[in-house]
Amino acid sequence: MKSRLVWTSDPEAAKRLRQEGTIDAQADQDPSKQSIRVVIDRKRRAGKSVTIASGFQLTAASLSELAGVLKKRCGAGGTSGDGEIEISSNFVTWESKDGLRYRFYQKKLKNGELDGETRGEARLDGKGQGGKVEFSKPAASAIDLAPGVIFPTAHTMLLLERAQSGEQFVAQPVFDGASEENAAVVSAVIGGSQSAAASAAEEPIKNALLARPSWRVRLAFFSADSTTDKPDYELGMRLLDNGVSRDMVLDYSEFAIKAKLDEIEALPKPSC
């Protein structure tokens, strides 16, 4: 009897088999047994970057439901089908070295078409002082930032500074421009340190950027208008002293996304 392929863990092969009618629609599999690969793709949408999560072993209805929750949580557009979820959202930021200026731009796509934009610039009056955010999209508006608010890169540097000094708890308001909301309160728990040698020993990717001291960090994000002690979402990661995260888990309560660094490359230092 001639054998035929009826199941594969390769998302592209599975997609081809479904299109050919070689395999039946999948039933929902145990989430713990599913291995999801997340990549940035620039080929599908005429050079526009989209995030592709593939390898889901779910029925079409379950996949569509999960995609809806994911798009809502990420504040992004996207589609789903053939065991994949496509998230279409570009988020670009720039932060000054002194941490007092921050520019941001987010573009959401749906089926390759523009589905929303957020653009603006935030400024602080000085270290530890308040400031203002001015939005130009989706409409001209402004919000005030309270004293003590900082921007994302400054927050990472603060976490590393506190980790190196042995502190375990840090609560800090952070503005990132991902929405028109004011600064979120980010509560951090910092675990014990791991030496550079220990980090290098357990890291399959041999790269000097990853052979660094690190800490296990857990962040809880609370929206500006939150009235409960339950965070909007949580982020756990292994944070290296150069700001690189080797792995992370994004926990949205309804579902969690586990990510591990597969590749890293040092870019040349800019001339400016």
Domain end residue (candidates: 61, 90, 119): 90
End-of-domain residue from the set 62, 90, 118: 90
- Cβ-Cβ contacts under 8 Å for 148 (sequence gap 6 or more): 128, 130, 172, 173
Q: Note whether 261 and 154 are same-domain residues.
A: yes
Res. 156: pLDDT tops 50:
yes
Same domain, 154 and 249: yes
Residue 145 lies in a domain: no
Indicate if 160 and 74 belong to the same structural domain. no
21, pLDDT greater than 50: no
Mean pLDDT confidence for 150-176: 96
Q: How confident is the model at residue 198 (pLDDT cuts 50, 70, 90)?
A: confident
pLDDT in tens, 129-146: 999 999 999 899 999 999
The answer to whether residues 85 and 165 belong to one domain is no
Q: Work out the average pLDDT over 227-247.
A: 91
Q: Which has more confidence, 68 or 109?
A: 68
On whether both 166 and 253 belong to a single domain, the answer is yes
Residue 159: inside a domain, yes or no? Answer: yes
The residue range of the domain holding 182 is 150-265
Total count of domains within the chain: 2
Residue among 193, 242, 234 at smallest CA distance from 215: 193
- Residue with the larger pLDDT of the pair 149 and 198: 149
Give the E-state strand segments of the chain in sequence order: 37-45, 48-54, 77-81, 84-95, 101-110, 113-124, 131-137, 141-145, 169-174, 184-194, 214-222, 233-240, 245-251, 256-260
pLDDT given at position 3? 43
Q: Considering the domain boundaries, does residue 139 fall inside one?
A: no
Q: What is the band of 22 on the pLDDT scale with cuts at 50, 70, 90?
A: very low
pLDDT value of position 162 = 96
Please check whether residue 122 lies inside any domain of the structure: no
Residue 98 lies in a domain: no
Mean pLDDT over residues 218-227, rounded? 88
User: Is the residue at 180 inside a domain?
Assistant: yes
d(CA 117, CA 64): 24
257 shares a domain with 183 = yes
Task: Report d(CA 63, CA 85) in Å as an integer.
Answer: 8
Confidence bin at 1 (pLDDT 50/70/90): very low
Question: Looking at the predicted structure, is the pLDDT value of residue 83 above 50?
Answer: yes
| Mean pLDDT for all residues in the chain | 82
Task: Indicate whether 74 and 158 sit together in one domain.
Answer: no
* pLDDT value of residue 253: 81
Q: Between 199 and 25, whose confidence is greater?
A: 199
pTM of the model: 0.73
Summarize the confidence of residues 67-85 as an average pLDDT: 69
Q: What is the pLDDT of residue 73?
A: 64
Q: Is residue 5 part of a domain?
A: no
Residues 55 and 160 both lie in one domain? no
Is omega for the bond preceding 138 within 30 degrees of 0, making it cis?
Answer: yes
249 shares a domain with 178: yes
- pLDDT attached to residue 35: 73
Mark which of 58, 90, 122 sits at the end of a domain.
90
CATH number at residue 41: 3.30.780
Same domain, 162 and 82: no
Q: Is the pLDDT of residue 12 over 50?
A: yes
